[in-house]
Amino acid sequence: KQSHVGVIGLGVMGKNLALNIADNGYHVAVFDLDTQKVNAAITQEQNERKTGIAVRMQACHNLSEMLANLTTPRVIVLSVPAGAPVDGVCKSLIEAGIEVNDIVIDTGNSLWTDTIEREALYKDQFVFFSSAVSGGEVGARFGPSLMPSGHESAWRYVEPIWKAIAAKVDSTTGLPIERFEPGNPVTEGEPCTTYIGPAGSGHYVKMVHNGIEYADMQLICEAYQLLSDGLGMSAHDIGDVFNGWNKGILNSYLMEISAEVLQQADPLTSKPLVEMILDKAGQKGTGLWTAVSSLQIGCPAPTIAEAVYARAVSTQKNLRMQLNAKLAGPAPVSFSDAEKVEFIANLEDALYCAKVCCYAQGFQLMAMNAKEQKWSLDFAEIAKIWRAGCIIRARFLQSITQAYQDDANLENLLMADSFSQTLSQKHLNWRKTVAASVMQGIPAPCISSAIAYYDSYRCETLPANLLQGQRDFFGSHTFERVDKPAGDKYHLDWSAKQRTLSKM
């Protein structure tokens, strides 16, 4: 027995996780049903190692060979597509003789409820543990954000490996320490991983991370459309604006890569590549799950849901082209240079405010589900491990960390003084952006749904009083009264000539 960790599934994520684990001094046994992928991973490691650096990856031809190769209790990392493939590999591991103390870690984007079921399903055969991974290919290779959950004893066992391979944050600045060098991992700084909680919680937290990711991406896309269709700016110039924003309060990995995408020329036509990319967005489901969960729990997350709808509407290109010819919109507006500058400044504020709302939605959703599931989630720690490695990494996560360190039971991020004060200062500019988008007929579903969210929470009285009246009118659904104890139900006899009020 010579390997410390097994990795099954050598797609880009699995291969890069294996290389990352090996970089950190662990011997890794690797397997994939596709032998070419095994060979590619082994060859890549050999090529990356400089003379004198040990090669630590070992190819396995089947799962029995992998089990025989691993020190016990075994640690086996699964990097296979979510859904049936996870159970397929688990069953094969059982057939190959996996033992009851061995730990299998699912790193895919699995549905959190599947993870809960799997922990129970496999408990007599092995320890089913999970660790959601964020950070894409580069993250997996040089430091992802890792969201482990399941048996705490399994966590204690894998913790040193996880802390070694995770992205690192400089504890004084709160900023990522990035070094993308094979064989030279970042060993200093705070690792972006923390034990999230019982089975399912890590995948739930990752799911919400992705919901926020969808909204964050869509917000930037809306800014792009407002600047291009609204102000008539070129993709390259919009990239410059984004690069400028990236230096300030809106600093984020997504802002940085958006600028880079906008400034990339198409190798075929030399036009901006972004203009040659078909405007139909794909999705694999995690944003949708977040929106569904928010509806099921009754936690408002309209900005996240709108981001999922925006992808859906984008795919209906034919219908959009037909309706483009049928539906009227406003005439184009022209802007003076000074007005353009003001528009861009307002948009920066609008993006920031909407971004705060989308994080507020995500964190509140996690809190509400945690309550239902009886998980005790540490939101300061969750915000901390999203400061580096993951797709939504941003300077702003430091302020969220601070807000939850100041008050671990914050019901909503908008309650934190740091955010309520900034949004109160910026809301007028946000409104100007939303007004401009409406008046120019440019859709901004996330920016504008976020302001409706902000304004809804600002309202002491919402029109739900009328709504309850309507419900009582047609369905005797009853209502509570403002002047009577909460929980007391009343009904008006709407159909009677003499309408009388009864306490139900």
According to the binding rule CB under 6 A, does residue 136 interact with ligand 6PG? yes
210 annotated ligand-binding residue: yes
Residues 206-225 as x/- pattern, contact with ligand 6PG by CB under 6 A? ----x--x------------
Please state, in angstroms and rounded to a whole number, the distance separating the CA atoms of residues 429 and 435: 10
311 annotated ligand-binding residue: yes
According to the binding rule CB under 6 A, does residue 286 interact with ligand 6PG? yes
Q: Which residues are the active-site residues?
A: 206, 213
- In this chain, which stretch among 32-40, 284-292, 298-306, 429-437 interacts with ligand 6PG, using CB under 6 A? 284-292
Taking alpha carbons only, the member of 386, 313, 370, 330 closest to residue 144 is 386
Residues 385-424 as x/- pattern, contact with ligand 6PG by CB under 6 A? -----xx---------------------------------
Please state, in angstroms and rounded to a whole number, the distance separating the CA atoms of residues 94 and 161: 24
What does DSSP assign to residue 54?
P
284 annotated ligand-binding residue: yes
Residue written as token pair 């059982």: 94
According to the binding rule CB under 6 A, does residue 24 interact with ligand 6PG? no
The residue among 138 and 177 lying less far from ligand 6PG, judged by its C-beta, is 138
Element (H, E) at 149: strand 145-149
As a dihedral over the C-alpha atoms of residue 199, residue 205, residue 208, residue 214, rounded to 10 degrees, the angle is -110
According to the binding rule CB under 6 A, does residue 362 interact with ligand 6PG? no
According to the binding rule CB under 6 A, does residue 463 interact with ligand 6PG? no
SS3 105: strand
Residues near 106 by beta carbon (within 8 Å), at least 6 away in sequence: 78, 86, 115, 118, 128, 129, 130, 131
Q: What tokens appear for 434 in the block?
A: 């939303």
According to the binding rule CB under 6 A, does residue 109 interact with ligand 6PG? yes
Task: Give the pairing type, strands 127-134 and 145-149.
Answer: antiparallel
Rounded to the nearest whole angstrom, what is the least distance from the CB of residue 211 to ligand 6PG in the complex?
Answer: 10
> Can you give the length of the chain in residues?
504
Rounded to the nearest whole angstrom, what is the least distance from the CB of residue 362 to ligand 6PG in the complex?
Answer: 13
Rounded to the nearest whole angstrom, what is the least distance from the CB of residue 295 to ligand 6PG in the complex?
Answer: 18
The residue among 22 and 254 lying less far from ligand 6PG, judged by its C-beta, is 254
The residue among 359 and 419 lying less far from ligand 6PG, judged by its C-beta, is 359
Please state, in angstroms and rounded to a whole number, the distance separating the CA atoms of residues 353 and 426: 7
127 contacts 373 by C-beta, under 8 angstroms: no
Report CA 123 to chain centroid distance, whole Å. 29
According to the binding rule CB under 6 A, does residue 284 interact with ligand 6PG? yes
- In this chain, which stretch among 35-43, 256-264, 270-278, 283-291 interacts with ligand 6PG, using CB under 6 A? 283-291
Element (H, E) at 17: helix 12-23
Cα angle for residues 46, 47, 52 (degrees, 5° grid): 65
Give the annotated binding-site residues for substrate: 109, 134-136, 209-210, 214, 284, 311, 471, 477
Question: Which residues make up the interface to ligand 6PG (CB under 6 A)?
Answer: 109, 134-136, 210, 213, 282-284, 286-287, 390-391
